[in-house]
Structure 1
């Protein structure tokens, strides 16, 4: 049902109400639900056509094809194909095609729940060799705040050391950081990424203070993960160069402003 160029909402709602007797779903509860939605018709000041929510007999659909595992299907609506396509496209701009939950970031079509499930399934594919550290890393991974950075265990031999700085070591990470590819919802790597290594000479235990520090860096989108020098057993935090947007490169204190 459409209104062509209709600007008077009162008149539009009157036409809708007068049409109630011309259709039924066969279920009074559903009929009342549809009527309630129809009477909330808001018109449009930016388009010539405004679609109205309505009951659609199933036999009006042809070429029905199921997609994914979330009870959705594509179809051709014989009476008006354009309306169906419009609704379908807009829905998946906001809702995940895999789980049907609303995207946490609709611009990048990022679903946090789906990514968490993917990370959980990947837990058995890596280990730091330390159960407590593995548990800590897994905990940090499940606290993801954005689609584009993931905290992980990084074997030390993946780094090519370039030079030592005052508080950090500049290196190239051969495999590169892990990202969520929002196009196909897969974890991918950006190889040969420049990173900064911070050696934790005075911290061999995972304390609450250490955990809070890592979580803070995750929120700022500046940390890639943790590693360990196999010779000295010193743990190493691995940072993106965006770290220095928040912390002083000379003294490592957080900027006052």
Structure 2
């Protein structure tokens, strides 16, 4: 975490944070007092630096008290309300913002309500979202197309709110600062994902300092485009590691991981998941800290995946009376479909195609397409497995004797050592050999020999697939590890969950 541009203060603050024993200092007040004492005892800091460091952790302590709604309250000398913050009064700040509601508008009721709602939940003077007049933005330059929106750099003349002036009872600004502008798509359509993106940025980044801060929104009057105004950081993690890999100490590497995991925890604390976390979305600033960005991909953790999962379980229920009827199924799928259709097609990226090889599937065995007669007499009544049955299944000792060696030739060694004759072990051996036979035909005989002792497999099908699957292998591609190359027989042999 970064607390400013003074590296000594940053290091001391990070050290005071790392030394906390949460078993002993089990509430935010004890943690604050512990960090304060660590800083006072730090011989690497001057007295002025110690004062600055303690001021910083006091602000963090105020933020934590309001975030978790705990700690000792005090009576504000101005508004006479019980407030939690020490260095400011959260009620005075909110009243100041509320009194200014009539002096601005975005021209969009949804945006106005969103910003006002966030301002009325303000917990820190430096984390306040606002409507930013476009004439306060200068030197706008195109940067790139990030995610699915155009990104610009700019200078915000006034800068964001930074602290509360208790004497004048007003907010102070940081002054001229560099910012990022991100265009919001389809703002006029209330069903579009811009609403969720704006909410994610405003609600999360203005509550937690570990994610890239969103200062608010603005609008380009020339085309009507609404834009998020965000903090501009220096470089992403990918480029940072490329440039500094040889100079990074383990202490610095661990601090990077700590910053990232803390920011991720903050997002999950808000019952959201990022959905697109990678090194390009982790940004670095000169204060020697990393922040998670691109919260436009964030979404509620239980939508829509949990809805689909629950619907799937209902459809699979062993009791037909508990399965959804066609009308219910249609209504549920309409809800899920509406969620996805409201988003751009690019929002749902497909798994990357492996362009290093080609597969020609010329299998034409009539055995694969010939209808067969199956007898299903005297089948047991279907039912859902109980928790005890699932636990018993997964703890089945018959799996203990099954091994997959690194070398296929070692199968016989494991078999003789364990004297394993279990059907499951044999099935996996055959599947392993079949997969190996696709690239190394010498294993085909061994697979045939084993399979001949079982009635579960048809060697003719395996031979046809082995002969007709043409794999053009690139030197850089390891086809053995590619899940797309599993045979149909092997798909039937997936390890049970």
Asked whether the 8 Å contact 1:204–1:234 carries over to 2, the reply is: no
Is the aligned partner of 1:138 residue 2:116? yes
Q: Structure 1: any 5+ residue segments left out of the alignment?
A: 1-92
User: By percentage of residues, which structure has more strand?
Assistant: 1
Q: Secondary structure at the match of 1:157?
A: helix
Deviations 1:78-98 (A, max 9, x none): xxxxxxxxxxxxxxx943111
Is the aligned partner of 1:154 residue 2:154? no
Asked whether the 8 Å contact 1:159–1:173 carries over to 2, the reply is: yes
2:85 to 105, 112, 117: 105
Cα 1:233/1:195, change in 2 over 3 Å: same
Asked whether the 8 Å contact 1:127–1:134 carries over to 2, the reply is: yes
Question: What's the offset of the Cα at 1:191?
Answer: 2.1
User: By percentage of residues, which structure has more helix?
Assistant: 2
> Which residue of structure 1 aligns with residue 93 of structure 2?
115
> Which residue of structure 1 aligns with residue 161 of structure 2?
178
CA distance in structure 1 between the aligned counterparts of 2:127 and 2:152, rounded to whole angstroms: 21
TM-score normalised by L of structure 1 = 0.53
> Which residue of structure 2 aligns with residue 37 of structure 1?
none
2:207 to 219, 226, 244: 219
Alignment of 1:41-120 (within 5 A): 94-106=74-86, 108=87, 110-120=88-98
Q: Structure 2: any 5+ residue segments left out of the alignment?
A: 1-72, 237-259, 264-276, 282-292, 298-497
Q: CA RMSD in A?
A: 3.1
Question: What's the offset of the Cα at 1:172?
Answer: 0.6
Higher relative contact order by CA 8 Å / sep ≥ 6: 1 or 2? 1
Give 1 or 2 for the bigger CA radius of gyration. 2
CA distance in structure 2 between the aligned counterparts of 1:187 and 1:226, rounded to whole angstroms: 19
Cα 1:186/1:172, change in 2 over 3 Å: same
CA distance in structure 2 between the aligned counterparts of 1:162 and 1:152, rounded to whole angstroms: 19
How many aligned positions are there?
161
> Which residue of structure 1 aligns with residue 179 of structure 2?
195
Q: Secondary structure at the match of 1:196?
A: strand
Cα 1:211/1:238, change in 2 over 3 Å: closer
Asked whether the 8 Å contact 1:147–1:180 carries over to 2, the reply is: yes
Asked whether the 8 Å contact 1:217–1:223 carries over to 2, the reply is: yes
Q: Secondary structure at the match of 1:195?
A: strand
CA distance in structure 2 between the aligned counterparts of 1:121 and 1:203, rounded to whole angstroms: 27
Asked whether the 8 Å contact 2:125–2:161 carries over to 1, the reply is: no
CA distance in structure 2 between the aligned counterparts of 1:248 and 1:195, rounded to whole angstroms: 22
> Which residue of structure 2 aligns with residue 241 of structure 1?
232
Q: Secondary structure at the match of 2:124?
A: coil
Question: What's the offset of the Cα at 1:145?
Answer: 2.5
